Amino acid sequence: MLEKKNFNMTTDEFRHHGRAVIDWIADYYDTIESFPVLSQVQPNEIRSSLPAEPPHQGEKFENILKDVDSLLPGITHWQSPNFFAYFPANTSGPSILAELLSAGLGVQGMLWSTSPACTELETHVLDWLVNMLGLPEKFKSTGKGGGVIQDSASSAVLCALLAAREQSTNYESNEKGCDQHLVVYASTQTHSSIEKAVKIVGLGKQNLRLIQVDEDFALRPDKLLLQIKKDRQDGLIPCFVVATVGTTSSNAIDPLSEIGNICREENLWLHVDSAMSGTAALCPEYRYLNAGLDLADSYCFNPHKWMLTNFDCDCFYVANRAILNKTLKVLPEYLRNKATESGDVIDYSDWEIPLGRRFRSLKLWFVIRYYGIEGLQQHIRHHIKMAQDFAGWIDDSEHFELANLAPLNLVCFKHLGGDSFNQHLLERLNQSGHLFLTHTILNGQYVLRFCVGQTHTEERHVKQAWLHIQETAAKLENILQE
């Protein structure tokens, strides 16, 4: 069907070039350990190598593909098994190929009717995940709740906050403007997206309360309750709490049951952000992390972090989808259709900020079926085992000490040489190209974060990393002593 008119690629050419791209990716993974994990380029280095003007006439596909090689020095290799920075954004063969299929189908799933399979597969797979993770039944679409794929946990918490804002103001903020008596609560360790969301929805940072944490960096429910009562006394309206299962800095686990009980008693919306650590609940032995989740109004976790599914894929659940839909629904005439009016279908544009959406559930469907529950569990257990081994080596070392509880796959640690030493150590490690890790500040001290979650990370990578860390620290000690 693809005729060589209008310069389009024919299907025969697509088969040919497609194979070349598939091979390019396979070659990339075959050689990925040969690249510096953190890109070593200087600002503008990549850009200045690009032609100043776009071509007037089309170029050969072969030449365009070849030029991807010239971008490689500017790539930080998130899929390298030596990537231990931030939280991972891992992916896998079946996910990459499902993303390809989604691009090929080129479906836009804003309404059920604009591609029913796009909506129904998403609803179905997100219900699957409720069972797979042992989440509360109320998050299933078969009851009053349901799940939707968002691009990120940032967008998920924004949608949750909007729904809470509307519910607590009898849906009047949408009409009359944000009620600025509403107050939002999270711990001092909460993700930066909470502050962003509070600003976006028109509440203002002054209505965000960052609640003190305990010695393990988990939100203190007693302090939360005190602050809620104080705000109420001040004539404000406590509205929304974000609890985190696995904070970004240190993987701290906020106590959901206690927080949830406060939210029920005080009538606040509880959103639980488990972007990274939520995937651990695939394994029954880690479901204790979610104890109390039945008290939450909304929940999210990111298969695009730790569940072998490429970015973007955040699974966002609500216990009552009607509140979310009433908050976000805007139905202009040109989108009206019989299925929507019947009320029998889900239109996912009522569940999110953008109107349009890709067919993102395909990759979840592929990943879950390809690995099976057992395969995914084995990945999680393997990553946690490797991180725990690493934590043990830190604990046994005379030169380093642990800086967090390290309940799962994130180990925070520091060399005993102090903040400046640790900063230099991190810089040297990342400049080596052998591995990439990042830092945070805990209790006012500069600490290193080591997160094991890359799809292809094996014991040897973690052992090599530990050797590099020790050797680099020893060299740095020598330099400083000279």
Site for a second copy in 156-185 (CB under 8 A): 158, 162, 173-178, 180
Residue with tokens 């200087």: 42
Q: How far is the CB of 447 from a second copy (least distance, A)?
A: 10
Of 290 and 349, which has the nearer Cβ to a second copy?
Answer: 349
Of 91 and 290, which has the nearer Cβ to a second copy?
Answer: 91
Enumerate residues 385-424 that contact a second copy by CB under 8 A. Answer: none
Q: Which of 253, 345, 386, 408 binds a second copy (CB under 8 A)?
A: 345
Residue 229 makes contact with a second copy by CB under 8 A? no
Q: Which of 161, 244, 241 is CA-nearest to residue 197?
A: 161
Of 178 and 243, which has the nearer Cβ to a second copy?
Answer: 178
- Count of CB atoms situated within 10 Å of the CB of 69: 10
- Residues in contact with a second copy, shown as a per-residue x/- string from 71 to 100 under the rule CB under 8 A: xxxxxx-xx-x----x--xxxxxxxxx-xx
Residue 134 makes contact with a second copy by CB under 8 A? no
177 φ/ψ angles, rounded to the nearest 5 degrees: 105, 160
Q: At 356, list the tokens.
A: 């349009």
The rounded Cα 182 to chain-centroid distance in angstroms is 27
Nearest-Å Rg of the Cα atoms of the chain is 24
Strands 445-451 and 410-415: antiparallel
Residue 104 makes contact with a second copy by CB under 8 A? yes
Enumerate residues 13-52 that contact a second copy by CB under 8 A. Answer: 13-15, 17-19, 21-33, 38-39, 41, 43-47, 50
Residue 374 makes contact with a second copy by CB under 8 A? yes
Q: Which of 261, 240, 249, 195 is CA-nearest to residue 218?
A: 249
Q: How far is the CB of 197 from a second copy (least distance, A)?
A: 9
The rounded Cα 25 to chain-centroid distance in angstroms is 23
> Total number of residues binding a second copy (CB under 8 A)?
163
Residue 439 makes contact with a second copy by CB under 8 A? yes
Q: Which of 184, 271, 339, 432 binds a second copy (CB under 8 A)?
A: 339
The angle at the Cα of 51, spanning 45 to 57, to the nearest 5 degrees, equals 155
Residue 236 makes contact with a second copy by CB under 8 A? no
The one-letter code for the residue type at 393 is W
Q: How far is the CB of 298 from a second copy (least distance, A)?
A: 17
* H helix runs in 255-407, sequence order: 256-266, 303-306, 321-328, 338-342, 361-396
Burial state string for 439-467 with b = 16 or more CB within 10 A and e = fewer than 16:
bbebeeebbbbbbbbbbebeeebbebbbe
Enumerate residues 262-301 that contact a second copy by CB under 8 A. Answer: none
Q: Which of 378, 397, 464, 470 binds a second copy (CB under 8 A)?
A: 378
